[in-house]
Amino acid sequence: MIQNQTTHESRLERGRRALAEIDGEAGEKVVSSLADIAPDFARYLIEFPFGDIYSRPGLDIRSREIATIAALTAMGTAARQLKVHIEAGLNVGLSRDEITEIIMQMAVYAGFPAALNGLFAAKDVFSVRDDADKERA
């Protein structure tokens, strides 16, 4: 699990390990897409959120993804990042029903438009996953 840090591991190394565990290919695609425009920002993205915050003790990775999906849904303006974290939620053991409930809960605090946007993002992620599963079968 990510929280088990070695004292000799750099923020970047710890962040890369966490990113791979949480987001898998989707996270690496985000980082790679920044290489030609903002490689330093890509490094910051790995070091701070994943190397520092996600790697802290206190919350397990599943709980952190619940919080992240809720926050990105509530923002209502981060559909691309929400999709990455819905995928991450699935990667760390959240079910589709749990993700749907997290997003629906945000209607109470962030409004119906934000929750609707979140549900459509989830629907897209679930559909892409279903298509990929069909191709593998």
Helix axes 79-91, 24-33, angle to 10 degrees: 150
For the cut 60, the answer to whether the pLDDT of residue 3 exceeds it is: no
**At residue 90, what is the residue type?**
L
Burial 19-41 (b: 16+ CB within 10 A, else e): bebbbeebbeebbeeeeeeeeee
The pLDDT tens digits of the residues spanning 8-62 come to: 889 999 999 999 999 888 788 888 899 899 999 999 999 999 999 999 999 999 9
User: How confident is the model over 107-125, as a mean pLDDT?
Assistant: 97
Which domains does the chain show, CATH number per domain? 1-58 (no CATH), 60-137 (1.20.1290.10)
Which pLDDT band holds residue 4 (cuts at 50, 70, 90)?
low
The pLDDT tens digits of the residues spanning 125-137 come to: 999 999 988 888 8
Residue 23: the pLDDT is 86
Which pLDDT band holds residue 63 (cuts at 50, 70, 90)?
very high
Residue 27: the pLDDT is 80
Angle at 99 between CA 98 and CA 102, to 5 degrees: 85
Residue 2: the pLDDT is 56
Residue 136: the pLDDT is 86
